[in-house]
Amino acid sequence: MDYKEILLEPVKIGTRTAQNRFFIQAMECNDEDETGNPSESTTERYENLARGEAGLVCLEAITITRESRARDNQLTIMEPNREPLKAFVKRVKAANPKTLFIFQLTHSGELSSDTFSRRVTVNPLYGYGGEVITESEVDKIMDDFVLAAQIAHDAGADGIDMKLCHGYFGTQLLRPYNSRKWKYGGAWENRRQFAFDLYERIAKAVNDKDFLIGSKISAWEGFPGGFGTDGPDSPIMDLTEPLDLLKGLEDRGAQYFIQSAGSPGITLSLTQVDKHVPYFAYLHQYWAKAFRQAVKPETIIIGSNFSAFRDGKNGLCAVDPKDSGLLVYGAQCVSRGIMDMVALGRQSFSDPFLPKKLREGKEDEIKYCTVCDNCIELLIRQTPVGCCTYNKRFTDILVEQRKLHGKLTQSHT
């Protein structure tokens, strides 16, 4: 089969079927209303992604609490948001009922902004800090996650991504750096227990075999004591704990995993490869392969960091551009059994209609991400986020922000 046939082939996820091998990453847009409900622009973005015919679309990180959150205008999933979320999902489903739509549930922990929310931590990390969280507070957070999963189910979502990546609360518990002697820290058996218990509780509370549950997981955070390292003071990669986590979550009902890496607040270019070091994208294929080999054949592995490959004009050396594009590499990874689906993040900002254009034979009309990372700059600046190359609304926001606040002085979210 050629790359088009491979990428447009359906794939089974649990009891559900995705219409093709394209997955849309959870990309924060920071444009919700003051109560965390989807705005009209939020809804239009996901309607377009559904019309673009991706097999599986993940809603941007939706916080289970307003108390501790990373974004000022962040989507929220609490009891007051139940009815607005139902209306939101109804519109997205109406745009294309074939596209599977899941919610990424999150708590920001030490990444919460101390400007407009409460920063909490499991073990103070240099440069971040926060109030040390108690076991009873973790138990309450777990209750909130369970309620959020029930609301997502009732709203009509096809499943959830229980976020265990990118330095957010779930990852903070998993890290070797969480060396504190408490119920959820120290030994690996303690650090993984939050995730294991939460999966069991969600499965029991939702009680629907057709409701998908999985997690996005950072294989290696890339700093001393980060997840995927061999100790609380070491940056050395060791996948023993990440792979054990996959197997334990799989045993507790996970039907898919989204492979990722890094922590954007610390190691941004590991998570979203910088155009100046596109070679980091190759590492994600290695991690996806390790994930694939650790789980059962029926468990779906979704690989990340394909936007940087673009249409082959990507700055990579020692490879012919026609053999190094997003579509070619994606299909190669699927056909070789390295992963089952190909994730689009920044590329979904530049062109939400890529899968549809591929199906219709309009590849020459695909708007490829330029990896300028101006969308990331908008996220750092706490403004609405979108593509500054192809969407004038966001170009204007970027220009205005630079006029008001000058050049960006940090390179992490």
155, 145: one domain: yes
240, 135: one domain: yes
411, 273: one domain: no
379, 264: one domain: no
Is the CB of residue 97 less than 8 Å from the CB of residue 48?
no
Tell me which residue has tokens 């969407």. Answer: 391
Is the CB of residue 393 less than 8 Å from the CB of residue 356?
no
280, 410: one domain: no
Beta strands at 159-162 and 100-106: parallel, antiparallel or unpaired = parallel
Question: How many domains does one find in the chain?
Answer: 2
Question: Which residues span the domain enclosing 226?
Answer: 3-370
- For 70-124, the DSSP string reads S-TT--B-SGGGHHHHHHHHHHHHHH-TTSEEEEEEE--GGGS-TTTS--EESSP
241, 336: one domain: yes
Tokens (6 digits) for 402: 């630079």
For every one of its 413 residues, what pLDDT tens digit does the chain have, with 9 covering 90 and above? 899 999 999 999 999 999 999 999 999 999 998 899 999 999 999 999 999 999 999 999 999 999 999 999 999 999 999 999 999 999 999 999 999 999 999 999 999 999 999 999 999 999 999 999 999 999 999 999 999 999 999 999 999 999 999 999 999 999 999 999 999 999 999 999 999 999 999 999 999 999 999 999 999 999 999 999 999 999 999 999 999 999 999 999 999 999 999 999 999 999 999 999 899 999 999 999 999 999 999 999 999 999 999 999 999 999 999 999 999 999 999 999 999 999 999 999 999 999 999 999 999 999 999 999 999 999 999 999 999 999 999 999 999 999 999 998 877 77
Tell me the β-bridge partners of 301.
257
315, 405: one domain: no
Q: Could you tell me the pTM of the whole model?
A: 0.97
The domain that contains 241 carries what CATH number?
3.20.20.70
128, 223: one domain: yes
220, 208: one domain: yes
- For 332-360, the DSSP string reads HHHHTTS-SEEEESHHHHH-TTHHHHHHT
182, 289: one domain: yes
407, 262: one domain: no
Query: Any alpha helices (H) in 256-352, and if so which ranges?
Result: 268-271, 280-294, 326-335, 346-350
385, 243: one domain: no
Q: Strand ranges (DSSP E) for 113-247?
A: 120-121, 131-132, 159-162, 212-218
| Helix (H) or strand (E) segment spanning residue 46 | helix 40-51
